[in-house]
Amino acid sequence: MKTTVYHLSETTIEELLNQATQVISQGGLVVFPTETVYGIGANALDKNAAKKIYEVKGRPSDNPLIVHIANKKDVFTYTTVTPGKINLLIDTFWPGPLTLVLYKKSVIPDEITGGLKTVAIRFPDNEIAKGLIQQSNLPICAPSANISGRPSSTTFKHVYEDLDGKVDLIIDGGPSKVGLESTVLDLTTDIPTILRPGAITKTMLESVLKTQVIDDTVNRLNKEIPKAPGMKYKHYAPKGKVTLLKGSNQAILRYLRSEVMSSNKTGVIASSELTNKLELEHVFDLGSINQPETIAKNIFLALRTMDELNIETIYIEAFDSKELNAAIMNRLLKAANHHIIYLD
């Protein structure tokens, strides 16, 4: 397959949206930017188009796809939820990086939802994404635009590396603003439950809902049929072996200086507070520990960079699990297959 590429810097939004809309309406696949990560999209009402996404990504068929809309009212078109139950959430966080799991209407094919009676749905905060959904006049199902299990793509370069020749069209919209996939909140449970942490934190949700929200991402891992992306299968893994290091800066520095010999096959990913004190050859600076938004934005870029350098052994600083750091650690633990060393 020959993939058509549109760079926003070289064309108009109108032109690229016209071409992308045509592809979507004909059952094809379009890679497009969102504020979280790039997505690989298809008509969410077309089960055959959805099957193409699973085939291209090598994604298990029981791993649900998120349905993207560009009008808040459309959530009531595709789900059975009543307006009063979610108005606070959609008025506060949409458009934005919050996905809601709700009971679906029959118009959404089971192939989109992994055979479940629920659907994950969100309204992205990106002009190209919103324009594509609006102009196609269709909901668009779109997981992250990468080969299944690999780090998500936050830049055109990484999308192109994974999917050139496998999709009909790729839109280069520049780097992702958030850099981590959306928070997924299950509203089909008695208590709202976070299935995947993201930029919309537990504290933010509770402050709006004025009720308890459960973050059950660790307890649910690998224990049931996934109701949202990223719950069950290995995710975000670079080619090299990842080990997380948890401890004080002094303890981590001692460990790295004693255990890691300078090598072109070993890399370290850490905050500025650590990298400024390291003299190893391959070190990726995520940003200051006091700026978790910057660290979140750089996580997938760092993992991809290690692959580009053919790094075989990767050490990554582990963070606490407060607020946005919970989402960061969720991705890092999966990338490391939960391999973590605790240092005194």
Cα–Cα distance measured from residue 112 to residue 337, given in angstroms and rounded to the nearest whole number = 27
- Residue 167's Cα: distance from chain center in Å? 19
Give me 262's structure tokens: 């300078």
Range(s) for CATH 3.90.870.10 in the chain? 4-220
Q: The domain 4-220: what is its CATH number?
A: 3.90.870.10
> Which residues make Cβ contacts (< 8 Å) with residue 231, sequence separation at least 6?
195, 196, 217, 220, 221
Q: What is the pLDDT of residue 62?
A: 81
| Helix 202-209 × helix 83-93 angle, to 10° | 130
Q: Is the dihedral of CA 129, 130, 133, 135 positive or negative?
A: negative
Range(s) for CATH 3.40.50.11030 in the chain? 241-342
The domain covering 241-342 belongs, at the CATH homologous superfamily level, to Threonylcarbamoyl-AMP synthase, C-terminal domain (3.40.50.11030)
The answer to whether the beta carbons of residues 109 and 1 sit under 8 Å apart is no
Cα–Cα distance measured from residue 301 to residue 45, given in angstroms and rounded to the nearest whole number = 32
Give the number of other Cβ atoms within 10 Å of residue 192's Cβ. 21
Distance from the first to the final alpha carbon of the chain: 53
Cα–Cα distance measured from residue 80 to residue 74, given in angstroms and rounded to the nearest whole number = 11
Q: What is the pLDDT of residue 337?
A: 92
Alpha-helix runs per DSSP H in the chain: 13-25, 47-57, 74-78, 83-93, 127-136, 156-163, 202-209, 217-220, 249-259, 272-275, 292-308, 324-335
Q: What is the pLDDT along the chain (344 residues), one digit of tens a residue?
A: 899 999 998 999 999 999 999 999 999 999 999 999 999 999 999 999 999 999 999 888 788 999 999 999 999 999 999 888 899 999 999 999 999 999 999 999 999 999 999 999 999 999 999 999 999 999 999 999 999 888 999 999 999 999 999 999 999 999 999 999 999 999 999 999 999 999 999 999 999 999 999 997 865 544 455 555 555 555 688 999 999 999 999 999 999 988 876 677 899 999 999 999 998 889 999 999 999 999 999 999 999 999 999 999 999 999 999 999 999 999 999 999 999 999 98
Residue 183 identity (one-letter amino acid): T
Give me 110's structure tokens: 């089971």
Q: What is the pLDDT of residue 223?
A: 46
> Which residues make Cβ contacts (< 8 Å) with residue 53, sequence separation at least 6?
29, 40, 42, 59, 65, 141, 142, 143
